[in-house]
Structure formats: C-alpha cells, structure tokens
Amino acid sequence: MRFASACLAVGAAFFPTGTAAGQTTGSLPTDTISTAAIKAATTDSAYLSPWVATIPDHGTIPSPRDFLGYVVGAPGELTSVERIHDYFNTLATASPRVRTFVLGQSEEGRDMIVAAIADAELLNRLEEHKGALRRLADPRITSSAQADSIIDGAVPIYWMTAGLHSTELGPPEMVMELAYRLAVEDRAPFETIRRNVITLITPVLEVDGRTRQVDWYHRHVRGHTDRNNMPPRSPPFWGHYTFHDNNRDGIMVSQPLTRNYLAAFFDWRPTVSLDLHESVPLLYVSGGTGPYNETIDPLTVGEWHTLANYEVARVTGMGMPGVWTWGFYTGWYPGYLLWVTNNHNAMGRFYETFGNGTAETVERDLSDASYAGKKITTRQWYRSVPPPAKLDWSMRNNTNYMQTGAIASLEMVAENSRLFLDNFYRKGVRAMERGRGQPPYAFHIPAEQRDPDAARQLIDILRLQGIEVGVVTEDTKLDEHELAEGDLIVSSEQPFGPLARNLLMKQEFPEDAEHSPYDDVAWTLGLLLGVETNRIDDASVLEVAVDPLAGDGPFGTGANLPRARDVWAIPHMAQRELGPFRFALTDVPVYAAEEAFEEGDRSYPAGTLLIEADSVSEAQLRAALSTRSLELVSLRRMPDVELHTLDVPRIAVFQSWLSTQNAGWVRYTLDQAGVPYTFIGKDRVRAAELRRDFDVLLIPQFGGGTRAKSIVAGVDPKWSPLAYTTTPEYPSHGLIMSAEDITGGIGFVGLEAIRRFVEAGGTVVALGSGTTLVTETGMVHDVSVKRPSGLNTPGSVITAKVLQPESPLTYGYPELTHVFRGNGPLFSLAKHRRYLVPLQFGTKYVGPDAEGGDGDESDAEEVPPLVQSGGIVKGKLDGEAAMVHTTLGNGHLVLFAWNPMHRHINQHDHALVYNALLFWNDLEVPAPRAADSH
C-alpha cells in the first residue's frame, strides 16, 4: 500500500523545490514600518526566519499593524478577543481568500469563530470539499476506487487553533499575522499552501478566559519585566468553570468550548489539526515519548513523526536554535481537545513555544530546565541545536518560532496533500477491518442498570463522539453472553470503532514505561460512570440483529409515575442523581431508611429515599424526575425501620484564590445537578459566623501537591491590593467571585473560624488535597497527612472496600467497589483508629490485630485486582484509608483521600459526596470496634 511507506519516513521527496530558506522575493512591496518593528522586537537575529522577517504591503487588505496600530508581538501590546475577531472579519471583507464563521457561543455568551483561508476558487466550492471529506470519512459508503476519485479533486483541511490556555498569550496574536500572510503573500510556499490546503484558524478558543486575561494584564501585570518579581500573571478564572482543564474535556465533552469544537469537526472533517500552546523552550513539536495510545492507527503515529521531523528540519535549517520533538509528553491520554481529530481518524498535534505569560520582554534562565531526564540546553538526537542557557525573550520571538513552524507544517501538507487524504480514508478502512478481525468485537450495555441515568449519559457521550449504538431486537445467546431484547450493542466494526474500544476497554499503562505519564492513565467510561458494560470477544456478535438507537432507549427519564400508594421510594444504589433529586424537592419532607427492608418480594437497601405520598404532588415528582432516570417505586406503607430525616443543608463551597480549577469542576457538577450552594472565599471565611449561614463547608481538591500553608497564606500579600472586581475599565473581572484584594489567604483567623463552625455542629466535607486544611493544621488530632515517597497513582481506577456498610456515608455501594484516584496525599492514622475509616483502598486488612497487615479479607466470591484500569501503582496503597470520618465538638469532618469530583469524569464516585451532603447531620460519632470485627 503506497500510503504506508510514505507516511513513515521523511526524505528528499518531502522537501519542495524552489523554497530555499533564504528566499524572500515577492511581487508585493515591503511594509518597511512593520518590518523594522519586527526586527526591533526580536531580541536576536537567530530567532527570526526569512518567512516572517518581512511583511508585505498590500494596497487594499490591511496588515495587523494597519488595523491594530502595532505589529504582532510588539512589547507591551496584547490584543483583546473583540479586536482579534474584528481583524479576521475585516480580512474576510477585504479578501476573497478569507471567510469567517461562528462556531458557537462560550459559557458566557461570547462568539467563538473560525476563519477559512485558501484560493478563492477553493472557498467558492467549500461545501463541495467538506462533502468530499465526509465521504472519505466513511468507507461503508465510499469504495476504494471512489475514494481515489474523490481524492483527485479534494484538498486537505488543516485546522489551527489558538488561545485554549489563556495565559499562553502569543498564539492568538500570531495567527493574525499568519492569516494575513496566507491571504496576500505571493512568494513560496504561500501560493502552494493556498492552492492545495484549506486552512482553518480559530484565533481564540477560550474566549471568556482571553477576555479576562487581557484585562488582567493591563490591570496588574503590564510594565513588570522581572520574571522572578512580578504579580501573578494569570487572572483567577479563565472559563466560567474550567481553567487549564479546558484541555481535558475531550472525552466527556461537558463544556460549550468542547462541544463547539467537536461539532465543527464533524462539519468540516479537518484532515490535520494543530493546537498552538506555550510552555517549553523554544519550539516543541509534539511527537511524544510513548507509550502511545494503543487504539490509535499506526498511520497516525507515522504522520505525527513525519510532520514533526519535517518541521524540526525546516525550522532548524533556517538557523533557529531550540527546535525539538519527542521528549515532552507521552501520547497516551486521549482527552485533550486536539485528540478530537486523533480519535476520529484524522491527525491531531500541538506546538509548545516559549512564552513569558506577559507581553513584556523578559530575561530567562534555562540552565536548570530538564525534560525526559535531559537538560534542555544539551544536544540530543531529537534536539540537534539546543537553546542557550540564558536569553532575553520577547513575545515577538515567540511569534517568529510559532509562525515559522506553522508555515513549514502547512507547506508539508500542501506538497503532500494526497498522502494525508489517502491516510484519512485508509484509517476508516482499517478501523472496519480491525473491528471485524480482532477482539473485542463489541460491547454490551444491558438495559437493566444499577444507575440508569449514568447509562444514559454514557450513551449520550458515545453518540456525541460519533459512535453508533444499536438496540438488540431479540433475545440472543452467544458463547459467553446473553443479550436481551432492548439491550444495547456498541460494535467495533464502525469507522470510529477504535474510539469505542478506547472509551470502553480497560487501560493498562505499561509498568516498564521509561517516562512517567503525562496525565491520567485510565478513562474507562463504564467504570468511571458506574455503568455495566461487557466486553464481547465472540465474533458472532457482529451478526446479531440490531436497530439504530433512537432517543434514550431503555434509559429514558422518569416522567411516567407508577400507581400512587402511601409512600414513594427510590432505592439507594449509589446513583449519581439520587442526591440532586432530593435537592429538587427542597420543600418536601424526605426520609431515608437506616437499614435494609423488604416489601413484597423485593428488598430495599439502607439509604432508600422515602416520601409520604400526601406530602408531594405528582407534578412535583414529575418535575424532579423530568431530567433524571431514577426508579420510583410506590409502597403500601412506610417501612418499619428507623429513618433519617434528610434536612436540606445550606452548602458553602470554598475556593482559594491560588487554585480555582477543581473548585470550578465542583461548581459545574453542582450547577448541572441543580444543587444550591454559596461560593465563598477567604474574606467570607475570615468574617466568621459560618455556622449562622451554613451547615456544610465543601472544600474542593486543590493541586495534588498542595499543603495547608499555601491555603492559609494565599497569594503573596506584597502585591496587595490585587483587585478582581468589575469596573468600567475591566468589565470581565468580578464574575463568578469578586474581591477587592485577592492576596493573602484565610490566615489563622480563617482556620479558627472553620474550627468554630465544626464545633458548633457544622460538617466539613473535604476532597483530596483540600483535606490538608484540617489535617496539617492541628485542627484534628486523630488523623494527619502523609506523602509516601515513591507512591504514584496517576489517574487510575482503584478497587475500594466498604468497611462500614451501616454508615450513611457508604449507602448504596457494595462491599467491593472502585474509585478513581490521581496523585495526592494519604491519611496517616493509627491502627487502633481504623474505626474512623468507612472506606479503604484495596482489600488488604489493616487493624489492631493485623500481623503485618497481609491478606485480603472480603465476603465477595472474587476479589478484583487493586488496579482495575490504568496502572502504575508504585508504593503502598492497598489497605490505606480512602475516607475518614471524625468529629470535632458537635460537628463532623468527612475527608476523602482522592478527588471524587475530578474533571466531571468519575461520576461513579459522586454519590459518596452526596451521601456526605444529604446525611450531614445524621452521622453518628465514630466509636472503636472489637478487634476482630472487620
């Protein structure tokens, strides 16, 4: 097959003729003012290539300087989203080679746009080209001969995106100049690019964050040039909910930004994507150290290296040092935004250029920077010309590198368009072949689920990702599986079959991997959502009759109520929507059974929600169930067991101004669930009287390595006052939360206020590193924090064991369950205090009478492995406390040794948090147990 060998090597054939590095001629006159400004803003001639050293002067199409009044990358200049979008729209008005489109709106209602740039003849046939790529995307409707014919008349679409991370300031600036060049330049390689590629540019992905960032720069950062002595370079918020994790939503597709991007992908079907980032010096071209994600077609891996090697060679050949590939990230995690393309048989990649986080020119020291175990200033096989140890770095330098690399990348694709189009089609063909030739052949999702609403979300995610789901039309028996009519089947034999495998299979990160993972190593949706999915390795499943799934299938919402009797009941099965259901009926008395009970031939577990029928209208029930797939049962009478009265708590969610990301995911989760809360910061905590206004203080995870000191101390007060308030000059600030001064932390006054809150009967629920606020400060005496050296659990699904099934904190969960744990602190408590532990990691017994603590003890017939998906648990984790419940005065503290609200992905864990919220004042004081009661 001609495409395979071409894709895996870079040779002379990939270097087009007539585009030598020194060529700068063109018919347009030179804009001498812009050209001089570029030279002045570049700190060393080695950081400038011939492609970007000059700016052509077009008579009717404005350059960035014509429009903005300054060249891109000028010191001290930062362009707002509105001006960037205005410039692209102006280009589209002035040039027949540019068109702009709205992708959708952000969470706060700002437009996201994309510009298409190519010869006018290509743009006039835009829908035809998009249609051609859609046909190439599905080999079931396009034969090989038809594909060859389509490719003869098609061109690749190359989508470049900027501004996903708001502190990475250069990319949204650079793409303005790149767009101008692509529209007007008539020297090589620009004409070739315009003729053979449709270039898409989204100048700002995170439009809310960029807006806040530009205001923040002008308000607090502008003029500071000492990198070691400047105010925080980032505003406290980017998007309305997401911060840096806006690049970790590619699996769940929960945010408008991700949904808009994914929808645009399916509309345009870009062949290649490039996400422009800033972090490492001087230009990193993604290639990845491995291990690579095992479901990605080798053709894609070959394309990664083909383009990376070409770009490194091309830019280095122009005399620019510090261009490299390979040694930065792994290529394992599929949830980045750019992996939307990788996951759907196109090819996604990213750049990291060196950024200052400011528009000022800054002195930088690289002498201590290391990646993949090697100093950045050393010569390696993947970095033949390293950067200097010290340098003055400007945003114009950044622009020069990023733009030169992007032009080289477009050049390579333009000169080899057939290669990339052919690969795009072949990946779909190979996906179909793999689906019918290698197990697993399908995944079975039974209609009977512990948590139907989670199953409904799983199906929604699969369909958002373009994965087809079928409904079994009649009962079918396979060798090892029985399929019932109405069950769901996800076949591997479909164009996105590899993605279906990726999302539904268990991950096994290689234990002998040379380099540490770059991100989470597990994302198995069945486990993370708490949905039963069965892998089917029997090829005959491909012959099972199915109909395409319409609507929610068996997981519809509960609009239809059963015949009313005296009591409504919802069995507690750790459903993610059980807690939110109670909050939807705030004014209705709701009870929970303290122990299991039976009625008729059915058993109901402890924690089952109970509502007297005469206390709630059917209209209220229908409204509460209208967005939820929860089983509602009608009982003849209230069961004869003790009941908890579920008093609706007044919840405060705390945020440190140092770290807002995980608090953002908590806010998103609660907002989506309709759970009311008050968002508070250091000022409200320090004001005391917390118990007067709140019943529960929810402390989210901070960074995994966060210590209490940073929460107590907060942002360095030497920059006080550092305002985040809404003003006419800075209208984007003050949203979500406002403060006249974000410096400082809660201080000892705040710690005392939290202590008094608990003593007065309040409940603290702390997640992950948020627990350090009470465990590292002496607020509690019976538990502290430990950080064992060598322990590494980078985002894996871990077996957990319920030690206290009678505790409301564990209602709904079986004895053996699982949680999703990333890295962070563990709890240290004596064996004789294990009665404080309602849930542990693993099954190993640890208690007062444990001799060495060896051995698994469980009533389950089969004990699962410690790691159910993911891998790399180095160090001691089996038997460690996962949750701790302790008391202080009249109040309670519920502490989680992991983040159960991680990126809105581990929703199987959410019911544990909701248990703590619902039963905040029903928790008994933990008491020691007999030594053998384990």
**Secondary structure of 617-683 in the HEC alphabet?**
CHHHHHHHHCCCCCCCEEECCCCCCCEEECCCCCEEEECECCECHHHHHHHHHHHHHCCCCEEECHH
3-state secondary structure of 796: strand
Residue 834 is classified by DSSP as: G
Is the pLDDT at 854 greater than 50? The verdict is no
Burial tier of 334 (Cβ tally within 10 Å: 0-12, 13-18, 19+): buried
Q: Maximum CA pair distance of the chain?
A: 91
Q: What is the 3-state secondary structure (H, E, C) of 228-254?
A: CCCCCCCCCCCCCCCCHHHHCCCCCCC
Distance CA 611, CA 624 (A): 13
Please answer whether residues 29 and 59 qualify as being in contact, where contact means their C-beta atoms are separated by less than 8 angstroms.
Answer: no
Q: What is the pLDDT, as a whole number, of residue 8?
A: 35
Confidence of residue 789 (pLDDT cuts 50, 70, 90): confident
Cβ atoms of 662 and 617 closer than 8 Å: no
- Residues 320-344 pLDDT 10s: 999 999 999 999 999 999 999 999 9
DSSP 472-516: E-S-EE-SS-EE-TT-EEEES-STTHHHHHHHHSPPB--TT-SS-
> Tokens representing 602?
């059915």
> Is pLDDT of 111 > 80?
yes
Q: Which two tokens mark 38?
A: 């570029």
478 phi, psi to nearest 5 deg: -100, 180
pLDDT of res. 12? 34
Q: How far are the Cα atoms of 204, 237, 238 from residue 85, in angstroms, in the given order?
A: 9, 22, 18
pLDDT over 70, % of the chain: 96
Measured distance CA(99)–CA(91) in Å, rounded: 8
pLDDT of 857 over the 80 cut: no
Please give the angle made by the CA atoms of 233, 235 and 241, to the nearest 5 degrees.
140
Instruction: Cite the DSSP H helix spans in 293-371.
Output: 298-317, 339-342
- Residue 11, pLDDT score: 34
Tokens of 98: 């540019």
- From residue 686, alpha-carbon distances to 110, 667, 678, 690 in Å are 35, 21, 15, 9
- The angle subtended at Cα 678 by Cα 676 and Cα 682, nearest 5°, is 160
Give the confidence band of 1 by pLDDT, cuts at 50, 70, 90.
very low
Q: Which two tokens stand for residue 414?
A: 């333009």
pLDDT by residue (tens digit) across 275-300?
Answer: 999 999 999 999 999 999 999 999 99
pLDDT interval class at 688 (50, 70, 90): confident
Evaluate whether 68 touches 75 at the Cβ level (below 8 Å): no
Q: Band of the pLDDT at 859, cuts 50, 70, 90?
A: low
Mean pLDDT of 546-557: 94
* Cβ contact 387:377 at 8 Å: yes
Structure tokens at 800: 């957990």
pLDDT attached to residue 3: 31
Instruction: Walk across the sheet containing 488-491 and list its strands.
Output: 534-536, 442-445, 488-491, 470-472, 546-548
pLDDT value at 501 more than 60: yes
**Least confident range of 29-38, 782-791, 895-904:** 782-791
pLDDT band at 559 (very low <50, low <70, confident <90, very high): confident
Q: Which two tokens stand for residue 283?
A: 């230009």
Whether 923 contacts 891, CB under 8 Å? no
Contact 708, 773 (CB under 8 A): yes
* pLDDT for res 15: 36
In angstroms, the CA 334 to CA 338 distance is 9
C-alpha to C-alpha distance for 378 and 382, rounded to whole angstroms: 10
| Positive/negative CA dihedral, 65, 68, 69, 73 | negative
- Mean local confidence (pLDDT), 374-392: 97
Distance CA 536, CA 442 (A): 5
**What's the pLDDT band for 858 if we cut at 50, 70, 90?**
low
pLDDT at 558 over 90: no
Report how far residue 296's alpha carbon sits from residue 680's, in angstroms, rounded to the nearest whole number. 43
What pLDDT was estimated at residue 102? 98
Q: How confident is the model at residue 847 (pLDDT cuts 50, 70, 90)?
A: confident
Residue 931: is its pLDDT beyond 70?
no
**Spatial distance between the Cα atoms of 801 and 805, rounded to a whole number of angstroms:** 10
Nearest to 186 by CA among 88, 97, 85, 309: 97
Residue 662 clears pLDDT 50, i.e. is over it: yes
Q: How far apart are CA 165 and CA 73, in angstroms?
A: 18
Confidence of residue 790 (pLDDT cuts 50, 70, 90): confident
Element (H, E) at 816: strand 816-821
Q: What local confidence, expressed as pLDDT, does residue 398 receive? A: 98
Using 50, 70 and 90 to split pLDDT, how confident is the model at 26? Answer: confident
C-alpha 119 chain-centroid distance: 36
Contacts (Cβ under 8 Å, ≥6 apart) of 31? 54, 55, 56, 57, 63, 65
Task: Taking residues 443-462, report their average pLDDT.
Answer: 97
- What's the pLDDT score for residue 522? 98
626-637 pLDDT, tens per residue? 999 999 999 999
Tokens 């597990």: give the residue: 522
> What does the pLDDT average to over 597-610?
96
Residue 291's contacts (CB-CB under 8 Å, 6 or more residues apart) are: 330, 331, 332, 509, 510, 513
Q: Torsion-angle region of residue 509: left (phi > 0), alpha (psi -120 to 50) or beta?
A: beta
